[in-house]
Structure 1
Amino acid sequence: MNKTRLEAFSDGVFAIIITIMVLEIKVPHGAEWLDLAELLPVFLSYVLSFIYVGIYWGNHHHLVHTAKEVSSGIIWANLHLLFWLSLLPFSTGWMGENHNSPNTVVVYCLNLMLAGMAYTILIATIRRCTPFSENMKRAIQVVNRKSVISTAGCLAAMVIAYFNTIVAECMILMVAIAWLVPDKHIENAIREQEQ
């Protein structure tokens, strides 16, 4: 399979995930500001998940760009990642609808943790199937390390959620913020390989 088919399929799944998440925000029955305010937990959950899906989409694009060709291992590792990400609308909606109760925050964190693990597996699979330059190997190691630390952050947030959901959610937000800062390692390595 060539990379463009994998990227196109993945991009379609990312778009569908965002569409499903926004459809979970139900239109209020009243026309007062207070009616809209009741949707705030659902909306904030959506914003957080939208950020995560955007982060995964951007990083997925860079990661898949590093692969020379697509093997069956890469296809399955990619599907594994998309499976966990496709559950985000469910965990997002459940957390938002139940005003961030501990169990819903734990399920949300678990969903993010499993997606993070799947991303780490995709990195390892691409790394195994693609001959990289030394610069690209270092770039992939940096991203892989960041992915492992983020997964550990999600695990810690799961435990903390039973004691304080606000702190757990702040931890999840901090993991997202760490990924919002663009990592130029892979971009720079790709540029060097193309020269």
Structure 2
Amino acid sequence: MKANRMEAFSDGVLAIIITIMVLEFKLPEGHDWYALIGLGPKILSYIFSFVYIGIYWNNHHHLLHMVRTVHGRLMWLNLLLLFWLSLIPFTTAWMGESHFAPTPTALYGIILLLSALSYRLLQLAIIKQHSGDSSFVVSMGKDWKVKLSPFLYLIAVLTAYVSPWISCFFFVLVAIIWFVPDKRIEHALRGQ
């Protein structure tokens, strides 16, 4: 299998995830702007998740450009990442429907944490395909975002029972950290 086939499959799954999230919205009962106020928590949770899926899509796209050989382990690690990401619509809907209650917010953070860890496993499997002194391996060794994100997600999970809004702060913080695509992969591609 070529890496572009795995990428196309992943792109399709991510597109379906986004579609499922938007299909969760029900029409408001009223016909004025006031009717949308009740949807506020659902819209906010959707925005969080849409941004996260977009970040994963963008970084996943860049990461797969570094694949030299697609093998079974790599395919399973990619599926593991897609599995955790596919649970985001459920946790998004529950968090929005509950108006960011502690348990749904904590579960949302757990799913983001497990997604981040599976992304790291996928990244490590791809790094193994390169020699230790390649520009890609050297640049990925300095990946502070991948190392910091799980820690911030864990804080978000734990603080959900203190204040879900503190958790949301950490969700936004991680999204801000990852919003700009990783330029190191582009630099490594140019260096090959």
TM-score, normalised by the number of residues in structure 1: 0.94
Q: CA deviation at 1:132?
A: 6.1
Matched, 1:119 2:122: no
Report the secondary structure of 2:65's partner residue: helix
C-alpha displacement of 1:129: 3.1
Q: 1:155 is matched with which residue?
A: 154
List gaps (5 residues or longer) in structure 2.
Answer: none
- Which stretches in structure 1 are left out of the alignment for 5+ residues? none
Alignment: residue pair count: 192
Deviation at 1:181, TM superposition (A): 2.3
Query: 1:188 maps to which residue?
Result: 187
* SS, match of residue 117 in structure 1: helix
Distance 2:125 2:2 in 1: 16
1:42-121 pair list within 5 angstroms: 42-121=42-121
Could you say which residue in structure 2 is the equivalent of 1:175? 174
- Matching residue of 1:166: 165
Determine helix, strand or coil for the equivalent of 2:128.
helix
Q: Deviations over 1:8-34 (max 9, x none)?
A: 100000100000011111111221222
Contact kept, 8 Å, 2:130 with 2:137, in 1: the verdict is: no
Within 1, Cα distance between the matches of 2:56 and 2:133? 24
* CA distance 1:172–1:160, change in 2 (3 Å): same
Q: How does 1:131-142 map to 2 (within 5 A)?
A: 131=131, 133-142=133-142
Q: Give 1:95's aligned amino acid.
A: M
Q: Note the aligned Cα RMSD (angstroms).
A: 1.2
Q: For the residues of structure 2 that align with 1:125 and 1:114, how far apart are their CA atoms?
A: 17
Q: Over residues 114-166 of structure 1, what are the superposed CA-to-partner deviations in whole Å (9 max), with x where a residue is unaligned?
A: 000000110111122344653111222233x3112101100111111110111
Distance in 1 between residues matched to 2:10 and 2:66, nearest whole Å: 16
Aligned to 2:17: 17
SS in 2 for 1:149: helix
8 Å contact from structure 1 (residues 28, 36) kept in 2 = yes
Provide the TM-score with structure 2 as the length reference: 0.96
List per-residue Cα deviations over 1:165-185 (Å, max 9, x = no partner). 111101110000000123211
TM-fit CA distance, 1:90:
0.2
Aligned to 1:27: 27
> Match for 2:146: what amino acid?
S
More displaced stretch, 145-154 vs 48-57: 145-154
Q: Against the structure 1 CA distance between its residues 127 and 118, is the aligned structure 2 distance closer, same or farther, given a 3 Å change threshold?
A: same
Percent identity reads 45
| Mapped partners of 2:112, 2:158: distance in 1 | 14
Whole-angstrom CA distance in 1 between matches of 2:176 and 2:26? 27
Q: Deviations over 1:85-120 (max 9, x none)?
A: 000000000000000000011000001000000001
